[in-house]
Structure 1
Amino acid sequence: MAGILVRDDRLLLVRQQFRGRGFWSLPGRTVEDGESLLAALSRELVEQTGLRPGPVVRLAHVTELCTPSFLSTAHVFVVAGWSAVDGFAGDPAGEVVASEFVPLSTARERIATLPFPAMREPLLGYLSGDTDRFYSYVADGSLTEARRTVPG
């Protein structure tokens, strides 16, 4: 699950470290047991950026990723507004090392370098105005080699 927050034509991105690699992506991560999607979105945004999200205005897209060992479904929401959280001390998981609002052109450039197609392609499509709302990927091995399948 992740959130799209835009301010003055600038998109909020976070710099994450994953298995020794750094990359920019949307803020968000996982839903904990017993947690709703929107509660997880709020918790992750606060933990990663120090921003408490306002209302969700729409679902941008859903991405499904199937591997031999797990099935993951990511929901990406568009959020209207936010407020700063007092006393923000950084991501407790230590995976997010920076967050910033960047111009949409810079956001597209950074997202284009994401090593994971299931994260990169749907977001670039959304930022380009594509109307696809469901993406399905299969990875037989490395997540960087996931390939999109056509549902149905």
Structure 2
Amino acid sequence: MPATNSPNEALAPVIGPGVQVVAALLRREHHIVLVQERRDGQEIWSLPGGGVERGELLTEALIREVQEETGLRLGTIGPLAFVVNTTSARYPSTVVLTFECSDWSGDISVHDPDDKVITTVLLPLNEAMQLLASSAATRPEIEPVLAYLDGASTNQVWSYREDQPAS
């Protein structure tokens, strides 16, 4: 019979590659861009972004994902806002890097090849934060964004195991 881990023991790491994800906090003065997408039968609000494809640099993935989900073209990539490290049965060893970007141009339109993004909007910060707070997105997707927008320090690393903060 296999041994079970006590609640205080660390789980054995999953063998194999992790998942790299990039996200963009697209800011214009006191407004930010959010995307609404279909995921697991729900409609959620989140920042634009997605998976880094094999052979792609982080900046290339960010530019591609922003273009696909928002129609906007990134100029320069802004500073790293925060990092989220999660692990779950569905997505083991995921690292999400969120960059704050204010150098972008174009008109908002959706060109999502995955056909998950429903709409993209530029909203006043307080309205965007309310939508994020009520979103059905996972805790690791929402909590760090809200803390950052509320004035948390930059370059903070957030860690979650199965959507719960890791100690």
TM-score range for the pair, normalised by the shorter chain length: 0.7 to 0.9
Tell me how far apart the structure 1 counterparts of residues 148 and 110 of structure 2 sit (CA, whole Å): 31
- Evaluate the alpha carbon distance shift between residue 103 and residue 39 of structure 1 in structure 2; reply closer, same or farther with a 3 A threshold: same
Partner of 1:36: 57
Instruction: Verify: 1:83 aligned to 2:105, yes or no.
Output: yes
Partner of 2:32: 11
- Which SS does the other structure have where 1:47 is aligned? helix
Instruction: Verify: 1:26 aligned to 2:47, yes or no.
Output: yes
Tell me how far apart the structure 1 counterparts of residues 110 and 141 of structure 2 sit (CA, whole Å): 27
Q: Sequence identity of aligned pairs in percent?
A: 33
Tell me the TM-score normalised to structure 2 length.
0.80
The code of the aligned residue for 1:79 comes to C
- Evaluate the alpha carbon distance shift between residue 56 and residue 123 of structure 1 in structure 2; reply closer, same or farther with a 3 A threshold: same
Residues 57-76 of structure 1 aligned to structure 2 (within 5 Å): 57-68=78-89, 70-76=92-98
The code of the aligned residue for 2:60 comes to A
- Evaluate the alpha carbon distance shift between residue 89 and residue 26 of structure 1 in structure 2; reply closer, same or farther with a 3 A threshold: closer
Tell me how far apart the structure 2 counterparts of residues 114 and 39 of structure 1 sit (CA, whole Å): 28
Tell me how far apart the structure 1 counterparts of residues 62 and 147 of structure 2 sit (CA, whole Å): 21
- Which SS does the other structure have where 1:29 is aligned? strand
- Which SS does the other structure have where 2:67 is aligned? helix
| Deviation (angstroms), 1:89 | 6.0
Structure 1 runs (4+) deviating above 3 angstroms are none
Tell me how far apart the structure 1 counterparts of residues 121 and 166 of structure 2 sit (CA, whole Å): 33
When the two structures are aligned, how many residues end up with a matched partner? 142
8 Å contact kept, 2:28–2:102:
no
Partner of 1:136: 159
Structure (1 or 2) with the larger CA radius of gyration: 2
| Deviation (angstroms), 1:23 | 1.0
- Which SS does the other structure have where 1:74 is aligned? strand
- Evaluate the alpha carbon distance shift between residue 89 and residue 110 of structure 1 in structure 2; reply closer, same or farther with a 3 A threshold: closer
Partner of 1:142: none
Write out per-residue CA displacement over residues 27-60 of structure 1, whole angstroms, 9 at most, x where no aligned residue. Answer: 0011000101110000001111111112122100
The code of the aligned residue for 1:147 comes to Q
The code of the aligned residue for 1:83 comes to S
8 Å contact kept, 2:110–2:119:
no
Partner of 2:18: none
| Deviation (angstroms), 1:68 | 3.6
Unaligned runs of 5+ in 2: 1-21
Match of 2:147 among 125, 130, 142: 125
The code of the aligned residue for 1:22 comes to E
| Deviation (angstroms), 1:6 | 1.1
